[in-house]
Amino acid sequence: MSDIIRRDPHAEWIARNRLHPLHAALQPAQHSWMGPNGVLRKNPHGIGFIGPNGVKRIDRSGAQQGGTAKRTAAVQVQLPLHRVVQPAFYIAVVPDMVGGRLSSHDRDLLGLARQLAGTDGAVLALVFGEHKENTFATAGVDRLLQLDGEQFSGYAPEQRVQGLRAVDNQFAPRHWLLPDSRSGGGELGRRFAAALGERPATRVWQVKDEACIGRAGAGLQDLARPLARVILAGAECAEPVSESRHEALPVELSTAVARSLSRIEDLGAVAVDPAAIPMAEAEFIFSGGNGVKDWALFHQAAAALGATEGASRVAVDDGFMARDRQVGASGTWVTARVYVAVGISGAIQHLQGIAACDKVVAINLDPGCDMIKRADLSVIGESAALLTALIEAVAAYHNETRRDAA
Ligand SMILES: Cc1cc2nc3c(=O)[nH]c(=O)nc-3n(C[C@H](O)[C@H](O)[C@H](O)COP(=O)(O)OP(=O)(O)OC[C@H]3O[C@@H](n4cnc5c(N)ncnc54)[C@H](O)[C@@H]3O)c2cc1C
């Protein structure tokens, strides 16, 4: 029996959020039980203690929920290895790899691929160019194919389609899975399906009983259709792999990839004013609250980092930020990869708005506030001093890179 404590951050968040419609459903009486795969499951909210005033307290720092102490154990315990010696078939996945790493969307897709691969099939992940990822094995990848070469770098969808076609010829995957995202997967998947002459299933959120269900009609309707060969799936289409380890064996193409006609010329990324990016689409948000005492310094820090500015409702109500910058239940629900909260306490209405953010960094004077509990990285201190230090650190970093380049 394994002693791994598994966490479901989304469920934990719902259970903490008293306003969420599923909150009551996530308050089970059972404290621990055996999961279907023989792993002992524990309800983190069953773990609590009675405070000095007779009130039940739950430590939300994560320490009691498989956080600090238990996480060390999770690292040491080896997950069971799933080995596919002679794959009966392949399920190919083309992750977006934004920033060179698997995103949560990519991991959901790999979870879906594992479902489709069963025990005999192998999940083949295809990565273009260099990457910084070292968790392919625990994300469910049996075979890893890396397509290197300058022809694939930058915006090169036509050349990438040629790469996918070469993979298709050699491995003949039963299904192709791509993220239906704006980070490249949505466009590449559609182009590739057209090149194959296949009708892709798009915006898929569920695959069940040989059928896939996707969003249609401006997201208001579901469209069910037989399982397609090319599937473009949305985030949360499946649970990411968490209970097994895979080989992630490197494989190679036996033939060279044909060169496509260069009908597209990549002129490089266009500099965009971060302030002009809609909050809901911003990848990097620098948000200020009531704890910001020097707003000029806050704007300076946001500009130095190249981040989109956001704010708590108090900062907006006090007139320091425009209403369209408000993050939260009555503002914008954001999905940034990095969300920095400066002097924001983490009221439930604010936390609702950042629930989908990947990494949260909190700068706050109060180590016990809810934003610190939610954050992946916390800096305890006075905001003005920390913002000044941040601006200096960014300037020093830029000076160094400029010196190295010269
Ligand atoms: C119906 C309703 C809807 C709402 N919708 C939203 C919403 O969409 N978005 C939203 O944000 N709020 C919303 N609110 C308001 C919400 O409840 C909180 O009041 C608000 O989020 C608090 O903002 P804050 O964290 O900036 O301020 P505070 O709660 O005052 O917190 C300030 C924080 O800054 C820290 N701090 C103070 N001084 C410093 C310093 N010098 N350096 C560093 N840290 C410091 C403090 O420790 C504290 O944690 C809503 C409320 C209601 C009732």
Arithmetic mean of pLDDT, 167-173: 97
Site of tokens 């209970």: 243
* Residue 65 pLDDT class (50, 70, 90 cuts): very low
**Which residues constitute the domain of residue 178?**
85-251
On whether the CB atoms of residues 116 and 175 are closer than 8 A, the answer is yes
* Residue 57 pLDDT class (50, 70, 90 cuts): low
Query: CA quadruple 99, 198, 249, 251: dihedral positive or negative?
Result: negative
- What's the whole-number average pLDDT of the chain? 86
Q: Do both 241 and 286 map to the same domain?
A: no
Distance 56 CA to ligand 1 centre (A): 25
What pLDDT does residue 42 have? Answer: 65
Among residues of the chain, what percentage have pLDDT more than 70? 85
What pLDDT does residue 59 have? Answer: 53
**Could you tell me if residue 399 is inside a domain?**
yes
Arithmetic mean of pLDDT, 147-151: 89
Distance 98 CA to ligand 1 centre (A): 31
Q: Do both 193 and 109 map to the same domain?
A: yes
Which of 193, 217, 251 is a domain's end point? 251
What pLDDT does residue 403 have? Answer: 82
Q: Whose CA is nearest to atom 29 of ligand 1?
A: 345
Q: Do both 117 and 247 map to the same domain?
A: yes
At position 247, the amino acid (one-letter code) is E
Q: Which two tokens stand for residue 215?
A: 């969003």
pLDDT, greater one: 66 or 229: 229
In angstroms, rounded to a whole number, what is the distance separating the alpha carbons of residues 406 and 403?
Answer: 5
**Could you tell me if residue 7 is inside a domain?**
no
In angstroms, rounded to a whole number, what is the distance separating the alpha carbons of residues 188 and 336?
Answer: 23
pLDDT above 70 for 210: yes
Q: Do both 235 and 92 map to the same domain?
A: yes
Which of 219, 251, 283 is a domain's end point? 251
pLDDT above 60 for 253: yes
What pLDDT does residue 194 have? Answer: 97
What pLDDT does residue 341 have? Answer: 98
**Could you tell me if residue 26 is inside a domain?**
no
Q: Do both 109 and 164 map to the same domain?
A: yes
What pLDDT does residue 51 have? Answer: 56
What pLDDT does residue 280 have? Answer: 84
Q: Do both 203 and 309 map to the same domain?
A: no
**Could you tell me if residue 43 is inside a domain?**
no
End-to-end CA distance of the chain, in Å? 58
Q: Do both 212 and 341 map to the same domain?
A: no
Q: Do both 160 and 119 map to the same domain?
A: yes
pLDDT above 90 for 220: no
What pLDDT does residue 46 have? Answer: 57
How many domains does the chain fold into?
2
On whether the CB atoms of residues 91 and 173 are closer than 8 A, the answer is yes
In angstroms, rounded to a whole number, what is the distance separating the alpha carbons of residues 406 and 396?
Answer: 15
Q: Whose CA is nearest to atom 38 of ligand 1?
A: 291
On whether the CB atoms of residues 160 and 188 are closer than 8 A, the answer is yes
Q: Give the angle 306-310-311 at the CA atoms, nearest 5°.
A: 145
What pLDDT does residue 53 have? Answer: 58
Arithmetic mean of pLDDT, 154-168: 94
Q: Do both 100 and 238 map to the same domain?
A: yes
What pLDDT does residue 77 have? Answer: 62
The CATH number of the domain holding residue 374 is: 3.40.50.1220
pLDDT above 60 for 260: yes
Q: Do both 210 and 284 map to the same domain?
A: no
Phi/psi for 276 (5° steps) reads -90, -5
In angstroms, rounded to a whole number, what is the distance separating the alpha carbons of residues 362 and 301?
Answer: 15
What is the atom index within ligand 1 of the atom nearest the CA of 345? 49
In angstroms, rounded to a whole number, what is the distance separating the alpha carbons of residues 234 and 378?
Answer: 31
pLDDT above 80 for 22: no
Pairing of strands 40-42, 32-34: antiparallel
Choose the residue to mutate in 17, 314, 388 for probing ligand 1, maximizing ligand atoms within 8 Å of C-beta: 314
Q: Which two tokens stand for residue 98?
A: 């934004």
pLDDT digits (tens, 9 = 90+) for 331-376: 999 988 899 999 999 999 999 999 888 899 999 999 999 999 999 9
What pLDDT does residue 39 have? Answer: 65
pLDDT above 90 for 258: no
Q: Determine which of 50-54, 99-103, 196-200, 379-383 has the lowest per-residue pLDDT on average.
A: 50-54
* Residue 255 pLDDT class (50, 70, 90 cuts): confident
What pLDDT does residue 62 have? Answer: 44
Q: Whose CA is nearest to atom 7 of ligand 1?
A: 328
pLDDT digits (tens, 9 = 90+) for 71-117: 444 445 678 999 999 999 999 999 999 878 888 889 999 999 999 99
Which of 236, 251, 266 is a domain's end point? 251
pLDDT above 50 for 383: yes
In angstroms, rounded to a whole number, what is the distance separating the alpha carbons of residues 362 and 373?
Answer: 9
**Could you tell me if residue 49 is inside a domain?**
no
pLDDT above 50 for 69: no
Q: Do both 156 and 243 map to the same domain?
A: yes
The CATH number of the domain holding residue 109 is: 3.40.50.620
Q: Do both 91 and 213 map to the same domain?
A: yes
The 3-state secondary structure of the chain reads CECCCCCCHHHHHHHHCCCCCCCHHHCCCCCEEECCCCEEEECHHHCCEECCCCCEECCCCCCCCCCHHHHHHHHHCCCCEECCCCCCCEEEECCCCHHHCCCHHHHHHHHHHHHHHCCCCEEEEEEECCCCCCCHHHHCCCEEEEECCHHHCCCCHHHHHHHHHHHHHHHCCCEEEEECCCCCHHHHHHHHHHHHCCCCEEEEEEEECCEEEEEECCCCEEEEEECCCEEEECCCCCCCCCCCEECCEEECCCCCCCCCCCCCCCCCCCCCCHHHCCHHHCCEEEEECCCCCCHHHHHHHHHHHCCEEEECHHHHHCCCCCHHHEECCCCECCCCCEEEEECCCCCHHHHHHCCCCCEEEEEECCCCCHHHHHCCEEEECCHHHHHHHHHHHHHHHHHHHHHHHC
**Could you tell me if residue 46 is inside a domain?**
no
* Residue 45 pLDDT class (50, 70, 90 cuts): low
What pLDDT does residue 12 have? Answer: 79
**Could you tell me if residue 151 is inside a domain?**
yes
On whether the CB atoms of residues 140 and 106 are closer than 8 A, the answer is no
Ligand 1 pocket residues where CB is under 6 Å: 289-291, 293, 312-315, 326-331, 343-345, 347, 349-350, 353, 364-366, 369, 382-383
pLDDT above 90 for 232: yes
**Could you tell me if residue 55 is inside a domain?**
no
On whether the CB atoms of residues 109 and 93 are closer than 8 A, the answer is yes
